[in-house]
Each structure stands twice: as C-alpha cells, then as structure tokens.
A and B are shown apart, each in its own frame.
Chain A
Amino acid sequence: MNDTGIYKAKGFQLFWRTAWARAYPRIVGTFRERSWLFFETLLPVLGTAAYVFVYRAINAPPDYTGFVVVGGAMIAFWLNILWNMASQLYWDKDMGNLELYIISPGPVMAILMGMAIGGLVMSGTRALIILTVSTFLFGVTYQTGSLPLLGAVFLVTMAALYGMGMMFASLFLVSGREAWHISNLLQEPVYLVSGFYFPVKAIGFWGAAAASLIPLTLGLDAIRQLLFTGDPTLGFLPVGMELGILAVLAVIFINGARLALARLEEIGRREGRLIERRR
C-alpha cells in the first residue's frame, strides 16, 4: 500500500498479474482480428497437402498421411516461437514497449511467461483448426494410445518449447535487426531436422539425437507414437524416455531464460542497448 492507499501487489501475486496482463493482448488478438484464419491455417494446410500427395503417390503406409497432418499442425507452434516469442522483445523495443516493461516492477520473466501463455492459446487455436481441417480433408484415422499420457506429452513439450522461446527472447533482448535474421534462419531448417513432414527416425540416430535439442522433435515423435499406435517401428525413442528428456529440457530452458534475462538486462543497461531503436 502506498501513501494514497493504492495497494500494489508484490512477489508471486505481481508475477501472475504481470503474466496474465501480457498474455491478454495475444488471447484477445486471436479472437478479435480473424484475418489470420485465412493465411495461417490455409497455407500450412496447403504445405501439408503437398506431402500427403507425395506419400500417396509412392504408396507409403496410411499412417504417413497422419504423420504429416500432425506435423503440419505443430508448425503453428514453431512459427509462434520464432516470430512471437524470440523476436518479440525486438519488436517491443522498436515500438517503445520494452522500456516500459523494464521500468515497471513486474518481472520481465513474467512478461515472457505471459507472452508464452498467450502464444500457446494463439497457436493452439491455429493448430487445432489445421488439424481438424486436414483430418477431414485427407481422411486421417487415429489409433490413439493412452490419452492422459498424450496430454502429458503435449503439455511437457509445450513447456520445453516455450521455455526455449523465452530463452531465445532473453538472448534477443540486446539484439537489433539480427533477431529478425536469426528467426528467418531457424525457420526452414527446423522443419527438416525436427521431422515435421516425416518420422524423425529417418534422419538417423545421431541426426535425430542432435535435433532433439529442439523440443518439438521429441514432442512430435512421442505424439505421433501415441496417435498412431498401428506401426510402433516408426518412433525414435520410447515415449517414456522422450517425456523424461522433454521434462529435463523444460527445466533447462526455463532456468536458462531466467539467467540469460538477468545477465542480458545488465549488459543492455550498461551498453545502452535497451533504449536504442531500430538500427
């Protein structure tokens, strides 16, 4: 309480108030401006369709169609990480929001958490639409395993993925235009190494192991194993092991984000990078 009687939250309460407030524009934006429906669902569906037709042309097993559809849906999350998490603080710096985030008592980690929560809702909506439309269009049938396990895999994958997004955002805090270039650079190669359109096992054990640093690789593989139980040979690692690795990645990335944020904010304050506009 200050001397005019206005109560201002501290600690955990301030953290959640900040996180929810930052999530709000993304959640509202998802439903307020629907122009994204056309571009952000139609285009991934078209990309998915190309692979579906390739697999059908070479008489691949029907599960491959399902693999592509699930991969196509998960693209929404990866794009969200790159463009709405990692580079977001760069845009915010340019718009003048970053200065206000930094000087407010709400922790910047809570701002990142809010961006992640809002981004999850935003991308989840897109992914659900892509999945539904593609399933209907290509007649995908699912032979699901344990639904609670599927839910757990999805949640832990998202925790690890958005933890990575928060860490990237921290690293990009002091960056200028290079944030844009790095995001561009990471977009397409990750489609390849994380196996968005094919089982990641196909790139070989060590290739898949290296790609597992990106949580979507193992998350996608585990989700596919749980959605298409008909052909167990297509999985990279056992689902339980993948879930465990994803949990470890989540802890590493979220803590990495926290440490990177503190360090880079200090560098930004020293070098004046928090206040410079587009270079």
Chain B
Amino acid sequence: MINDAAVLTEKLDRIYKIRGPRRKDDPRELVALDGVNLEIKRGELFGLLGPNGAGKTTLIKILSTLLLPTRGRVVVDGFDVVKDFGEIRRRISMVSGGETSGYGLLTVEENLWMFARFYGLDSAVALRRINDLLHLLGIGDRKRTKISDLSTGLRQKMNFVRGFICDPGVIFLDEPTLGLDVTAARDVRAFVKNWMLEHPERTILLTTHYMAEADELCDRLAIIDNGKVLACDTPHNLKRRLQREAVFKLKVGPIGPKPCKEEMLESVPGVRQVSIVEHSSGTELSLILEREEVLSGVLTHLGRRGSKLISLEKREPTLEDVFIDLVGRGLNVDTSRRGKETP
C-alpha cells in the first residue's frame, strides 16, 4: 500500500497512437488525458463530469487496470496500476452504460453466478447475494429469465447487480444510466445512494454527462474537458463560484443569421458566457452576466437583431452554468475527434 486515498492520479497523461491508414496531415496521436491530478478519498461518491470525448472513460479504463497510463502515477486503493494490478482487481468492479456483457442463453441468475465466481465467491454466498441484490433493484422476479429476453433497463439493472455482487472497495460507474428511461435511471440512482449509505467506507467514481445526476449523487465533482481537469470541488462550491454573477435563461424568437463577431451576444459588455439551444419554437439562451444590469444591454442587442423576448427567468446557478463558464460551451458537444500532430 502506498497511499491512503481510494484513487490518486498525479500528472496522468494518456496518449493513443492512431493506427491504420491516414493521410499525411492526419494526426498521429490522440491526447485523451493531459496532466490529470485527482485525489478521491475513501467513502466518497466522486463524479467526473464532461462531454463525450473529454477523457472520462479513458480515466476509468486506466483506474480499472484495462489501460496503462502513458505518463504519471496512478494509485487505486493503495496500489499502483502499473505494478500491482492484480491486487487492484481484487478490490474493484465496474459497470458501464449500455453494457451487453454476459451470455444470452444463460439466465440472469446464471450469468451473475458466473461473474461472482470470477471474484472467488462461494456458490451459496453468490446465489444469496444475487437474490438479495436483484430484489433491491426490483427485478427479483426476473432471476430465471434468459438475458437475451431482457429489456435495456432490466439488463442494466442486472449489470448493476454484477458490479456490486463482489462487494468492491472501489467501484467505477461509467455513464451508468445511459439509455435508461426515467424510472429505471431513478431506481439505479436510488440504489447507488443507498449502497453508499450502507457502506460508508466504499468509494464510487461515477462518470456522467447528466448534470442533474452528478448534482444529486456526488459528494465532489471534477469537471473534465479535452483531457484536463478544469475544476474539482463539491457541487455546492462549484455553483457558488457563480454566485456573484447573474444567471439568466431567456427564450426569444428567431435571432436570424449568425452575425459577425462584433455583433455577437458575447460582444455586449458584461456578458461572460452564452449558451444557445435552437428549438422549433424559438431560441433558448443561457446567459452568465457579470451583474444584473448587463441584461438591459443584452435585450437591446437582441431587439436590434429583430428578436423578440418570449420569456425571461433569473435562476440560481446550476452545474451546467458552471460547466459553460469553465469550458465555454454546453455539454452536448462531442470533442472526441481531437487530435494532436506530433513530429
């Protein structure tokens, strides 16, 4: 054991070499993680928040011993991921969103039993835990169903049972509610919260791009983009960063064609960040302003561009606002094709 933190990364880089045919000017490498420093304490439910391609999954794959770091030091439950991966594997588990693992001809119970045995559980203990966990997640009646007959939501609940069956010290949840309906996602979040309450010494690292999920579940959050950690704090403290600013949500009529740089909303003095979402009924603007008085300038600007105000709401800052403030764009932007030319 070399550190008491559940997870520790120091100056972690991960660079993928791009294989296969490429043109002369195509990048040769992809920087997935760039100098990531994180310390996650035991007993924390820690969130990694970032858009697709930010590096969240790469980080989880390194922590779960599936990938080696290119540079830097990574410690999980006191063990180094490069040298002591065998010890780490005894202590961790992982559940990913949209997971299709298992064998379709086996029943839910048989699949879970198989994975439990890979962790060395006694058969009777495994069956008892399978039964208990399936009931906790509300799918106790599906024990004898072949997994090929399960819906996406039920299958993901089964994956959760698989992840928790071995009672891991550290569990990685990679976008665990991806593709789930509202009810299934709520059940899964409730399960995670209860598990942490009942096992205060355990640690969960959750990646998500659902702001509300991160806000609801996580003790602390790191916001990650382009492979870099931009901020790391409690959701409350992250939102407090914007407390002095004024956050508004405006719904306006069509703004018209994209103006030149000087005529964009960002050029209005006092406007810190703007996020625009186009709807068929109009345009939704999330604005972070340095102070409330800046709003009149914004409305004048919109009026000059022929857009009418439909609704205006001043609200408390959300994690999304924090993200926009830090990154300069919303979460629904895919950055997975970043490449870096190297000599």
A residues adjacent to B (C-beta < 8 A): 2-4, 6-10, 13-14, 17-18, 20-22, 24-25, 28-29, 32-33, 95-97, 99-106, 111, 269-272, 274-275, 279
Within 122-174 of B, Cβ neighbours of A (below 8 Å) are at: 122, 125, 129, 162, 166-167, 169
Name which residue of chain B comes closest to A10, CB basis.
B120
Enumerate 29 A-B pairs (CB-CB under 8 Å) in ascending A order. Answer: A2-B169, A3-B201, A4-B167, A4-B199, A6-B121, A6-B167, A8-B166, A9-B122, A18-B118, A21-B115, A21-B117, A22-B114, A25-B103, A25-B105, A25-B114, A29-B103, A29-B105, A32-B105, A96-B100, A97-B101, A99-B66, A100-B101, A100-B115, A103-B92, A104-B118, A105-B86, A106-B118, A111-B118, A271-B17
Q: At the interface, yes or no: B61 with Cβ under 8 Å from chain A?
A: yes
Q: What is the predominant secondary structure among interface residues of chain A facing chain B?
A: helix
State in angstroms the CA–CA spacing of A104 and B100 once bound together: 17
In the complex, number of A-B residue pairs with CB atoms less than 8 Å apart: 115
Contact check, A105 vs B66: say whether CB atoms are below 8 A apart. Answer: no
Name which residue of chain B comes closest to A94, CB basis.
B100
Within 99-116 of B, Cβ neighbours of A (below 8 Å) are at: 99-103, 105-106, 110, 113-115
| Residues of chain A within 8 A of B20, CB atoms compared | 279
State in angstroms the CA–CA spacing of A34 and B102 once bound together: 20
| Residues of chain A within 8 A of B61, CB atoms compared | 272, 275
| Residues of chain B within 8 A of A101, CB atoms compared | 118
Name which residue of chain A comes closest to B32, CB basis.
A272
Contact check, B101 vs A103: say whether CB atoms are below 8 A apart. Answer: no
Contact check, B66 vs A8: say whether CB atoms are below 8 A apart. Answer: no
Q: At the interface, yes or no: B318 with Cβ under 8 Å from chain A?
A: no
Question: What number of B residues sit within 8 Å (CB to CB) of A?
Answer: 41
| Residues of chain A within 8 A of B226, CB atoms compared | none
Give the most central of A2, A3, A8, A32: most B CB within 10 Å.
A8
- Chain B window 65-76, contacts with chain A (Cβ cutoff 8 Å), 1 for yes, 0 for no: 111100000000
Q: Per a CB cutoff under 8 Å, which of B89, B114, B129, B167 touches A24? A: B114
Q: Per a CB cutoff under 8 Å, which of B99, B103, B120 touches A106? A: B120
State in angstroms the CA–CA spacing of A21 and B94 once bound together: 19
Contact check, A104 vs B64: say whether CB atoms are below 8 A apart. Answer: no
Q: Per a CB cutoff under 8 Å, which of A13, A20, A96, A269 touches B67? A: A269
State in angstroms the CA–CA spacing of A171 and B115 once bound together: 24
State in angstroms the CA–CA spacing of A182 and B115 once bound together: 30
State in angstroms the CA–CA spacing of A7 and B114 once bound together: 16
Q: At the interface, yes or no: B340 with Cβ under 8 Å from chain A?
A: no
State in angstroms the CA–CA spacing of A274 and B85 once bound together: 15
Q: Per a CB cutoff under 8 Å, which of B90, B94, B167, B169 touches A105? A: B90
Top 7 A-B pairs, shortest CB-CB distance: A9-B120, A21-B117, A106-B118, A104-B118, A8-B120, A96-B101, A14-B120
Q: Per a CB cutoff under 8 Å, which of B66, B118, B122 touches A269? A: B66
State in angstroms the CA–CA spacing of A14 and B20 once bound together: 39
